[in-house]
Structure 1
């Protein structure tokens, strides 16, 4: 589930919800330059094990221990309770952390710095590299994580692989689609847009009817990254032991220009998504669609129950009709922190949580995205809110989108900071009428500076 290392979540007076979580058919391997990436991290001291004062150890036979697990996943308590009922010697205690504006990551980094992090934490794919900078995560290879590789979808597994090291166990991803109010689209004679040109035309029609097609949420850098991903952007790369930063590349400029045009023409709102005003618009029909991820089904169900039966899911619009290019928004891992005293037990729990059929069933019921596991569920199991979507087998849309995600996209260090930079710059641009292209140029420079300050070699891509 995504949620929001960088995203915001909200609850409304109507109902409360748990916080929720590119280009072309070619599917290349993520982190193809992983060895170089690992070398780049090493420049900042990553992987150092000089501190022997608190080394991991094996649990003695019959010894009872408690592992701490920080997470924001809705309903995570249920699978954890199931684990505890089956494993009385290795209990897991969940501590819920806020996923608003990256609060959970700030808390995790602070705990690492203080020397008292939890044993396990939910960390989104995009920010795993950030934790490697401060030696926060444990390399799981020597604890047998490789024995479980084939249990997980390849590209999700690779998101936490750097060189030969594996730093987390996949949980779920968030392939993107277009949630639409089918009743309103039909009423206004609007077809689900197959292209971004058609999306703009639909925005014009819907605005004339007094509603809005969507919002451009300035603070949601995570979703903007997904839109750029679909267009063929490559924000991060490696050349030898040097990181390259290309946020201000042509595909991202195309995306920025597109949304700037919608904002400039007042065809789209600019309120933050997944906050109270946005939920009210979703509940009332003032907003007729949402470019969201697979985990968004639970978010809509939880916050707009009176709209049940009126929603459908359509594929994400394409830059060119028939391209089949999609994107991913969010997705999480279960990571083990470097200070965990019982890494073998922590790893056993992380693998069980994300592969055991009973656990997956509980996670699906509470809306956590598209599972990272290859087995343990059927595609139809993901249609847990089928009635809300008018009987549509909507998971098929997200399944097809997952196959079209360009897996050559690479996350870089300090992505959580990058999202904050984007949020600040987009908010300022909307406020003063500045171009969105200027945002890219500014954030590109800031990101290069941020990485250099972390001791990494970096240059503009």
Structure 2
């Protein structure tokens, strides 16, 4: 499954129109086609209702699949039983394992003409060995969300590089010993994968059938050393996010930032609504000054499963939802998602900023600029094992005062051992 970009052939609007003229193999010409769709995003039913009203010949039946790892597990179980839905929303991190399990259908021929609605980095999130397995829906380009008021109060500059981040963290501690710039707990596997990718790492890579695991490559180990040094100096915390203690600190203004992604404002507002108007978003600090590319943290795509008897109709819905202006308007205004398509990102620029930061009128312009230069992350077939091992090993390292890089090395060893046991050829280890 070598990841590489495909070639776009025509405009998105033409492609979606063309898809509407398709008739599915095995389709029922005597009545409307009904497709099962599993997802979890807020207000998905109202989005489906609008589609159903406008498309009487292709009706969508929506099921809330719960989201996260649970939804992928449910999808895999259903596929093994031969009764998977026609379409399902899946996170990018779980897509490779589902492809290995033969769950999603290759839809290259159905969607090649909508590729130009997405950046190359976004499209590559669903493209494996030159084949496309999903239509990207939302993305989480990494960003720096921070307490603008407290940075100004303490006279601390907003960092543009990670070395500046270290200096800002030290300045925060010096100005207010009861305040910390951020917390980076072991459970934030996606964050560490993202900043390692930003530094040049590839935690999984594949050439033909052979995998390479890079969780403990030199770039990743240098990232481990950097954040370990911040924690050792007391410049960052390592306590979990979104606990009662964390939420209290965010409300009190004693945790000043969350290096995460463009979706973070809604999460912060859910736990600290009274702090609205005090936050802002900036690009994520860089390892090399002037190199603005960032990885993704989070995001999902709509796949068509191999159990679907109507793949062309299913793909038509996925393309409408994620690549058309109408679909993207619903993603933005109804579901509060940051769209994967450049069409949606451009549309979002005219929207009001998130209610957490109503004063930042250029929020979506900043978000679009961040999203324009992204580094695709290649996820492997055993991400769940990697996540649990990484959290356990890094927790142990923090508790015992041992090097953080040992946690990265132990995770790589566990991932390689598991892949070999499962039958994947691995070039290293």
Asked whether the two chains share a fold, i.e. TM above 0.5, the reply is: yes
- Higher alpha-carbon deviation: 254-263 or 70-79: 70-79
Give the Cα separation in 2 of the matches to 1:73 and 1:274.
20
Indicate the structure whose relative CO is greater, using CA pairs within 8 Å and at least 6 residues apart: 1
- Higher alpha-carbon deviation: 242-251 or 412-421: 412-421
Residue 403 (1) aligns with residue 372 (2): yes
- Higher alpha-carbon deviation: 313-322 or 332-341: 313-322
Q: Which of 109, 112, 115 is residue 76 of structure 2 equivalent to?
A: 109
Match of residue 272 from structure 2: 304
User: SS state of the match for residue 378, structure 1?
Assistant: helix
Q: Which of 117, 121, 124 is residue 88 of structure 2 equivalent to?
A: 121
Residue 203 (1) aligns with residue 169 (2): yes
Residue 449 (1) aligns with residue 417 (2): yes
Match of residue 9 from structure 2: none
Quote the offset at 1:382 in angstroms.
Answer: 5.3
Quote the offset at 1:368 in angstroms.
Answer: 1.7
Give the Cα separation in 1 of the matches to 2:345 and 2:208.
39
Residue 166 (1) aligns with residue 135 (2): no
RMSD: 2.5
Where does structure 1 lack aligned partners over 5 or more consecutive residues? 1-29, 35-55
Match of residue 428 from structure 1: 396
Q: Which of 150, 155, 173 is residue 116 of structure 2 equivalent to?
A: 150
Equivalent positions of 1:327-406 (< 5 A) are 327-365=295-333, 366-374=335-343, 377-381=346-350, 383-385=352-354, 388-406=357-375
Give the Cα separation in 1 of the matches to 2:248 and 2:31.
51
Q: Contact between 1:170 and 1:373, CA under 8 Å: does it hold in 2?
A: no
Query: In 2 relative to 1, CA 279–370 (structure 1 residues): closer, same or farther, beyond 3 Å?
Result: farther
Give the Cα separation in 1 of the matches to 2:321 and 2:106.
19
Quote the offset at 1:66 in angstroms.
Answer: 3.1
User: SS state of the match for residue 314, structure 1?
Assistant: strand
User: SS state of the match for residue 219, structure 1?
Assistant: coil
Match of residue 64 from structure 1: 32
Match of residue 181 from structure 2: 213
Give the Cα separation in 1 of the matches to 2:402 and 2:63.
42
User: SS state of the match for residue 84, structure 2?
Assistant: coil
Where does structure 2 lack aligned partners over 5 or more consecutive residues? 7-23
Q: Which of 37, 47, 50 is residue 79 of structure 1 equivalent to?
A: 47
User: SS state of the match for residue 286, structure 1?
Assistant: coil
User: SS state of the match for residue 327, structure 1?
Assistant: strand
Equivalent positions of 1:24-39 (< 5 A) are 31-32=3-4
TM-score (norm 2): 0.87
Q: Contact between 1:236 and 1:245, CA under 8 Å: does it hold in 2?
A: yes
Quote the offset at 1:229 in angstroms.
Answer: 1.0
User: SS state of the match for residue 70, structure 1?
Assistant: strand
Query: In 2 relative to 1, CA 377–317 (structure 1 residues): closer, same or farther, beyond 3 Å?
Result: closer
C-alpha distance after superposition, 1:223-271 (max 9, x if no partner): 1111111111122223443111111111111111111122223322222
TM-score (norm 1): 0.81
Query: In 2 relative to 1, CA 398–391 (structure 1 residues): closer, same or farther, beyond 3 Å?
Result: closer
Aligned length: 408
User: SS state of the match for residue 58, structure 1?
Assistant: coil
Q: Contact between 1:84 and 1:90, CA under 8 Å: does it hold in 2?
A: yes
C-alpha distance after superposition, 1:74-116 (max 9, x if no partner): 332332221122123432232223345x222222222223332
Q: Contact between 1:71 and 1:121, CA under 8 Å: does it hold in 2?
A: yes
Which aligned runs of 4 or more in structure 1 are off by greater than 4 angstroms?
A: none
Give the Cα separation in 1 of the matches to 2:379 and 2:77.
22
